[in-house]
Amino acid sequence: MRVGRHEVNVSNPDKLFFPERGLTKGDLVQYYLDVAPCALHHIRRRPFHMKRYPNGVEGDFFHQKRVPAHPDYVGEQFVQFPSGHSTVFALIDNAAALAWVINLGCIELHTWHSRVPRIEEPDYLLIDLDPSRDGQWPYVRQIALVVREVMEELRLAAYPKTSGATGLHILAPIKPELPYPDVRRFAKALAQEVERRIGDQEVATTTWRVADRRGVFVDFGQNSRDKTIACAYSVRPVPDARVSAPLLWEEVADVDPAVFTVQTMRDRIAKLGDPTAGMWRRKRSLRPLFPRLGLDAPG
């Protein structure tokens, strides 16, 4: 198929990828091309972690960090790990590259929190609200509003999105000037402030040990090097082809993540636009904010 100036080979476009919804690999490629103007500004210049489902959501999957042989419209980035190992990640910077990686069976868009050339310094802070058990979605929505409250007091722009699974992500764009450990330290203090304001361990907790959690985990640990999340507009490998959907804050109190799917997102964008438009122009420095959370300044 022709994507912009490039020819992209889509193999077996009629292969069923979401049997419950009757969606094929070709349908998935077309979805991503349709939402590319919204999705690409979240994934450009970020190391891309491949989680490949060559036979759709009901088949086996495997992880692949090293980019395979690829056309010249797919970028690459060498990364060294603390263990001494290294690899070369794909960079998905245009619609043709996006179609190429989806053709490999990458249902999800998993990317680092940082961008080339500053891959050691994330450009957003993430709070991941992760239920500990079934029936906690009302708590997730309640906690999200408290996260927003804390972020806005710190003058951080807060952008919510459904995870596409069981939780909710809240992202705050930041200047890429601090290493991952400092951003994680700040995120932990922010999460603990949210926990303190909720004041009920049955509702919200930052307890690290899974067996000791009762409430929704206010997860700060994703702010670490080599961690990835399914980015905004990413499809998730679940039977109903659910999507990680950016939200308006006025939607959060009543949101049902099941309504955001491959089959509904294009109409939503046409009606609502992109709630994350302009997000990356609102980056704020974390440096002066550490004392506000009782932390020593970084460096």
| Per-position DSSP letters for 63-78, written without gaps between them | EE-S--S--TTSEEEE
Averaged pLDDT for residues 51-76 = 97
Q: Please tell me the predicted confidence (pLDDT) of residue 117.
A: 97
Query: Which helix (H) or strand (E) is 161 found in, with range?
Result: strand 159-162
CA angle 152, 244, 159 (to 5 degrees): 10
In percent, how much of the chain has pLDDT > 90? 95
Alpha carbons 17 and 257: distance in angstroms, whole number: 21
Predicted pLDDT at 74: 98
Q: List Cβ neighbours of 284 (8 Å cut-off, separation of 6 or more).
A: 155, 156, 157, 172, 173, 174, 175
pLDDT recorded at residue 230:
94
pLDDT at 18 over 90: yes
Average pLDDT over residues 47-72: 97
Q: Which has the closest alpha carbon to 255: 144, 149, 173?
A: 144
pLDDT at 166 over 90: no
Strand pairing partners for 160?
A: 170
Query: What is residue 155's predicted lDDT score, i.e. its pLDDT?
Result: 97
Q: Report whether pLDDT(176) > 90.
A: yes
Q: Which residue has the tokens 């070709």?
A: 26
In this prediction, residues 175-197 reach a mean pLDDT of 98
Residue 213, φ and ψ in degrees, nearest 5:
-85, 145
Does 234 score more than 90 pLDDT?
Answer: yes
Q: Is the pLDDT of residue 105 over 90?
A: yes
Nearest to 81, CA basis, from 66, 92, 94: 66
Mean pLDDT over residues 233-248, rounded?
Answer: 97
pLDDT above 90 (res 211): no
Q: Is 142 left (phi over 0), alpha (psi -120 to 50) or beta?
A: alpha
Summarize pLDDT for 84-96 with one digit per residue, the tens.
899 999 999 999 9
Q: Which residue has the tokens 């979605």?
A: 137
What value does the mean pLDDT of the chain take? 96
Note the pLDDT of residue 298: 92
Q: Would you place residue 299 in the very low, low, confident or very high pLDDT band (cuts 50, 70, 90)?
A: confident
pLDDT of residue 54: 96
Residue 273: pLDDT over 90: yes
**pLDDT at res. 164:** 87
> What's the pLDDT score for residue 141?
96
